[in-house]
A and B are shown apart, each in its own frame.
Chain A
Amino acid sequence: MIYIPVISKDVYFNFALEYYLLTQKRFEQPVFMLWSTTPTVMLGKYQDAVSELNFNYIQDHKINVVRRYSGGGTIYTDTGGCQFTFIQPDIASQMTFDTYLKTVAAALQQIQIPAQRNSRNDLVVNHRKFSGSAQYRHDGYTLHHGSLLFDTDQMQMLQALNVDHLKLQSKHIASVKQRTINLKTLRPDLTNETFMAELTKQILACFNHVDTYELTAEDQQLIVALAKHTFADSDFIYGKTPKSQFVKKAYLPGGGLVQFNIDLDHGQITNLHLSGDFFGDIDTAALNTKLQGTKYIPAEVMPKLAEFLQQTPILGITAEDLTRVIFA
C-alpha cells in the first residue's frame, strides 16, 4: 500500500491528482489518499448539470462545480467532510467494490462509528447515509473513491442541489435523494482534521506494509496542467449531456410573467424562446439568435442578455432578473 498525503483543498487539483496517478503514475501497489475540498458540487461522469444543480445558489455562494470520471450521482462536499481514494491495478487479488467499503467501514468502527453498507453501496449509520462511492476503470486500473460527511453544511448541500424540476427530457444518470447524517453527531469530540487523521491511521492499519509517497515538483506541475485543461474546463463540466429541453418561468414583480423554453445540446443553448405578459418591444427571434451557441452558465448568458436589453429594454426587468429565471 502506498499512502499519499494530500494538502491541497482545490478540488480540480485533487481530481487531477487521482487521474494522474491512475493514468500516468500507475503504481504497482494499491494507493490510498484522504482529502478535503472547499465547497464543491461533484457531478457524476454522465450527469446533466442542468438537472442536478441550483445554478443561482451555486453562483451566489461561490461553490465549485466539478465533474468526476466515475459514475453515480451528484454530491455536495466542503471542508467539513472528506473524500477517500483507492487506486490499484486489476490483478487477481484486487479489492472489489465491496472490499473497499468493508475497509472504510471497519476503520470507522475502530473509531466508534457503527458504519454499515446498504444495498446501494453507500455507508450508513442508523439507515442514514454519510458516504457514497463510485468507480472508474481505465486501462487495467480501478479507481474507487467516495465521500464522507463529517461536519458538512447540510443546509448548503440541500440548497445547492435543489433544482426546479420542470425539465421535459434529458438523457442522463439521475441522482437518488437520501436522508443523510454528519458523523460529528456521533463523535462531537473530533474536528474534521482529527477525524481524518484517525481514519487514515485506521485504514493504513488494515494493510501489512505502507510506504508514503510525497508528490515531487514534477508531479505537481503535471497535475496542475491536468487540472486546468480537464477538470476545470467548462466544456468538460457542462458539456456532457447530448440534449435537453426544459421550461423556466417566473412572475417578476413590476415586470410581469416571463417564460423561457430552452433547448440545450452538450451544454450549449440551441434554442431559447421568450414569452410572457411583460411590456417591451422584444424581437424574440433576434434574442434566440443572440443566445444560440452560448454555454448554459450564468456568467456567459447574463452579459448577452444585458447587451440585448440595452438595444430593446423590457419595462421593469433587468438582465440579472432574466438570468435568475433561466437558471432557477
Chain B
Amino acid sequence: MLKEVHMPKLSPKSDEYFFGTWQKQPGDAVKQGDILFEVETDKVISEVQSQEDGILKAQLVDEGAATKVGDLVATIEVNEE
C-alpha cells in the first residue's frame, strides 16, 4: 500500500520552509525513525523522520525548493501483513 508523506509543521512562526536535502533515495528501504529529509525554517535545521517501514517510492519536492506545511513530499510503499 502506498502511504503519503506530508510536510509537518516544524515552526510556530512560519508555514513555508526551505527544503534542504534528501537523506533517502527512491528504492531505499526505510524504517520508522529513519531520517527522510532535512528542512530549514527560521534559522533552524530540522530532520524529518519516517513514520513507516517500507520502500521510498518517490521524492516529490526538489532540494532547494520552497515547501509549505501539508505539501505532499514523498510516497512510501509499506508492507502489508
- Footprint of B on A, CB under 8 Å? 44-46, 69-73, 97, 121, 132-139, 171-173, 241-242
The answer for the CA separation of A171 and B18 in the assembled complex, in Å, is 10
Q: Which of these, A70, A137, A173, A242, contacts B18 with CB under 8 Å? A: A173
Known: A45-B20, A71-B40. Is A138-B47 also a contact (CB below 8 A)? Answer: yes
Q: Which of these, A45, A139, A241, contacts B45 with CB under 8 Å? A: A45
Known: A45-B20, A46-B40, A71-B40. Is A171-B45 also a contact (CB below 8 A)? Answer: no
Closest CB of chain A to B25's CB: distance in Å?
Answer: 15
Per-position binary interface string of chain B over residues 46-76, scored 1 when its CB falls under 8 Å from any chain A CB and 0 otherwise: 1100000000000000011100000000000
In the complex, are the beta carbons of B46 and A137 less than 8 A apart? yes
Please name all residues of chain B whose beta carbon is closer than 8 Å to the beta carbon of A45 when the two chains form the complex. Answer: 20, 40, 45
In the complex, are the beta carbons of B44 and A97 less than 8 A apart? yes
Instruction: Tell me if B28 is interfacial: C-beta within 8 Å of chain A.
Output: no
Q: Which of these, A133, A139, A173, contacts B40 with CB under 8 Å? A: A173
Known: A45-B20, A46-B18. Is A70-B45 also a contact (CB below 8 A)? Answer: yes
Q: Which of these, B44, B46, B65, contacts A171 with CB under 8 Å? A: B65
Could you pull out 7 A-B pairs where Cβ atoms are within 8 angstroms?
Answer: A46-B40, A132-B43, A134-B44, A135-B43, A173-B18, A242-B63, A242-B64
The interface residues of chain B, by DSSP majority, are classed as strand
Instruction: Tell me if B15 is interfacial: C-beta within 8 Å of chain A.
Output: no
In the complex, are the beta carbons of B64 and A171 less than 8 A apart? yes
The answer for the CA separation of A73 and B41 in the assembled complex, in Å, is 12
The answer for the CA separation of A45 and B19 in the assembled complex, in Å, is 12
Instruction: Tell me if B42 is interfacial: C-beta within 8 Å of chain A.
Output: yes
- Footprint of A on B, CB under 8 Å? 18, 20, 40-47, 63-65
The interface residues of chain A, by DSSP majority, are classed as loop
The answer for the CA separation of A233 and B65 in the assembled complex, in Å, is 25
Given contacts A45-B45, A72-B43, 17 further A-B contacts (CB under 8 A): A45-B20, A46-B20, A46-B64, A71-B43, A71-B45, A132-B43, A133-B43, A134-B44, A134-B45, A135-B43, A135-B44, A137-B46, A137-B47, A138-B47, A139-B47, A171-B65, A173-B40
The answer for the CA separation of A251 and B54 in the assembled complex, in Å, is 58
In the complex, are the beta carbons of A121 and B40 less than 8 A apart? no
The answer for the CA separation of A44 and B41 in the assembled complex, in Å, is 12
Least CB separation from A73: chain B residue? B43
Q: Which of B42, B44, B46, B63 has the most CB of A within 10 A?
A: B44
List 9 A-B pairs, minimum CB-CB distance, nearest first: A171-B64, A72-B43, A71-B40, A135-B44, A134-B43, A71-B43, A136-B45, A137-B46, A71-B45
Q: Which of these, B43, B46, B47, B63, contacts A44 with CB under 8 Å? A: B43
Q: Which of A45, A71, A73, A133 has the most CB of B within 10 A?
A: A71
Please name all residues of chain A whose beta carbon is closer than 8 Å to the beta carbon of B44 when the two chains form the complex. Answer: 70-71, 97, 134-137
Please name all residues of chain A whose beta carbon is closer than 8 Å to the beta carbon of B42 when the two chains form the complex. Answer: 71, 97, 121
Please name all residues of chain B whose beta carbon is closer than 8 Å to the beta carbon of A132 when the two chains form the complex. Answer: 43
Please name all residues of chain A whose beta carbon is closer than 8 Å to the beta carbon of B20 when the two chains form the complex. Answer: 45-46
In the complex, are the beta carbons of A172 and B64 less than 8 A apart? yes
The answer for the CA separation of A138 and B23 in the assembled complex, in Å, is 13
Q: Which of these, B43, B47, B63, B64, contacts A70 with CB under 8 Å? A: B43
The answer for the CA separation of A112 and B34 in the assembled complex, in Å, is 47
Least CB separation from B11: chain A residue? A97
The answer for the CA separation of A161 and B41 in the assembled complex, in Å, is 23
